[in-house]
């Protein structure tokens, strides 16, 4: 039932987008682009009034870096850790933080604990109360080249976003940060400053690809969940790209082929020119090389030929 209503919401977004002209699909709030089909200025402004609970869990991911992947893992972990105590399904305890939802703040107040908030917002735009209350924040990053390619395909497949006529055109927008939720590099720089805080855990898409079971276990430990090895294994098996994309029609309806594309590391090599690759290398060198997050991204392994 809960999944059905989630799919109904996604379908509505598709329908609403079809009736809009390209220039009506985006708006800017405090210098950042957002899609009009799911966000509005009123909701973004009202986020500052969010009443945070100590046991809330936040999942923060720059677009296309593994939001839906980590979302499923989190939901499964919460579900497993709360088994027998759960009266509602995981989907009924989660909320996309910045999305416009009817009666949003009333709905949020009524969500049972532990609530899961998912967001693409920049660190600075996440309500301060989240950090003051020291709730658990899981952050997922992905190498910038694959994130850019995934974002390009998403723009072109998703009716809620304007299409680009070429990869080259999108690449320039990605590099200048003129994409929804703004610059990848600004997001990474901001999180790099907070990597050592005990309530924050940063993982990468590539680490999840390398050792999914190990990452699921680390997330469980971070959340303070003590689960059997078998349970961790089952959650990891259900979170492979194969397994999630096989079920995606059920879980995401029409949005499935838009969200579950390739799920690979290194797809950037199919689109990047040598010059574009060097441009990202230079940007990475300028802002992230030698930083803790920069090192965690294993740039040389995943972003060099």
Ligand X SMILES: Nc1ncnc2c1ncn2[C@@H]1O[C@H](COP(=O)(O)OS(=O)(=O)O)[C@@H](OP(=O)(O)O)[C@H]1O
- Shortest spacing between CB 241 and ligand X, in angstroms: 4
Cα–Cα distance between 195 and 138 in angstroms, integer? 11
299 binds ligand X (CB under 6 A): no
Residues linked to residue 60 through DSSP beta bridges, in sequence order: 119, 139
Cα–Cα distance between 178 and 200 in angstroms, integer? 27
- Shortest spacing between CB 262 and ligand X, in angstroms: 4
Indicate the residue among 55 and 210 with the shorter CB distance to ligand X: 210
78 binds ligand X (CB under 6 A): no
**What is the arrangement of strands in the sheet containing 94-96, beginning at the earlier edge strand?**
94-96, 116-119, 57-61, 136-141, 200-204
Per the CB < 8 A criterion, the answer to whether 65 and 147 are in contact is yes
Per the CB < 8 A criterion, the answer to whether 209 and 265 are in contact is yes
35 binds ligand X (CB under 6 A): no
Neighbours of 123 (CB within 10 A): 20
Indicate the residue among 157 and 292 with the shorter CB distance to ligand X: 157
254 binds ligand X (CB under 6 A): no
**Rounded alpha-carbon distances, angstroms, from residue 207 to 65, 204, 213, 222, 265:** 12, 5, 10, 16, 10
- Shortest spacing between CB 85 and ligand X, in angstroms: 27
Neighbours of 138 (CB within 10 A): 23
Choose among 135, 110, 111, 124: nearest CA to 58.
135
115 binds ligand X (CB under 6 A): no
Indicate the residue among 258 and 293 with the shorter CB distance to ligand X: 258
Name the one range near ligand X by CB under 6 A: 10-18, 124-132, 166-174, 236-244: 236-244
67 binds ligand X (CB under 6 A): yes
263 binds ligand X (CB under 6 A): yes
Residue corresponding to tokens 């855990």? 201
* 116, 239, 280, 303: residue in contact with ligand X (rule CB under 6 A): 239
Q: Where are the beta strands (DSSP E) in 130-218?
A: 136-141, 200-204
Q: Which residue among the candidates 120, 122, 187, 252 is catalytic per the annotation?
A: 120
* 244, 288, 293, 297: residue in contact with ligand X (rule CB under 6 A): 244
61 binds ligand X (CB under 6 A): yes
Cα–Cα distance between 121 and 144 in angstroms, integer? 17
- Shortest spacing between CB 20 and ligand X, in angstroms: 18
Would you call 60 helix, strand, or coil by DSSP?
strand
- Shortest spacing between CB 271 and ligand X, in angstroms: 11
153 binds ligand X (CB under 6 A): yes
Q: Which of the residues 176 through 205 are near ligand X (CB under 6 A)? A: none
Active site residue 194: no
- Shortest spacing between CB 39 and ligand X, in angstroms: 13
Name the one range near ligand X by CB under 6 A: 16-24, 30-38, 195-203, 240-248: 240-248
- H/E stretch holding 29: strand 26-29
Catalytic residues: 120
Binding site for ligand X (CB under 6 A): 61, 63-69, 146, 150, 153-154, 239-241, 244, 259-263, 267
């Amino acid at each position: 039932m809960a999944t059905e209503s989630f799919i109904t919401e996604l379908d509505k977004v598709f329908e609403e987008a079809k009736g809009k002209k390209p220039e009506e699909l985006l708006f800017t709030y405090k210098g950042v682009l957002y899609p009009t089909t799911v966000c509005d200025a009123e909701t973004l402004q009202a986020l500052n009034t969010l009443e945070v609970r100590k046991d809330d869990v936040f999942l923060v991911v720059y677009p296309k870096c593994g939001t839906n992947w980590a979302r499923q893992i989190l939901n499964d972990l919460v579900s497993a850790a709360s088994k027998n105590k759960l009266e509602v399904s995981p989907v009924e305890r989660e909320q996309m933080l910045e999305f416009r939802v009817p009666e949003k703040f009333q709905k949020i107040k009524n969500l049972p604990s532990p609530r899961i908030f998912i967001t693409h917002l920049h660190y600075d735009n996440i309500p301060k109360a989240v950090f003051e209350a020291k709730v658990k924040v899981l952050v997922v990053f992905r190498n910038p080249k694959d994130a850019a390619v995934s974002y390009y395909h998403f723009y072109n497949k998703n009716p809620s976003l304007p299409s680009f006529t070429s990869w080259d055109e999108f690449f320039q927008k990605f590099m200048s940060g003129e994409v929804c939720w703004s610059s990848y590099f600004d997001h990474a720089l901001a999180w790099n400053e907070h990597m050592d805080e005990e309530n924050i855990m940063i993982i990468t898409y590539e680490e999840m690809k390398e050792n999914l079971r190990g990452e699921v276990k680390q997330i469980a430990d971070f959340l303070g969940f003590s689960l059997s090895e078998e349970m961790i294994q089952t959650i990891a098996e259900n979170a492979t790209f194969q397994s999630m994309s096989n079920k995606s029609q059920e879980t995401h309806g029409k949005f499935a082929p838009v969200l579950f594309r390739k799920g690979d590391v290194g797809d950037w090599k199919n689109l990047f020119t040598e010059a574009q690759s060097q441009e990202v290398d230079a940007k990475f060198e300028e802002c992230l090389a030698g930083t803790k997050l920069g090192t965690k991204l294993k740039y040389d392994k995943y972003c060099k030929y």
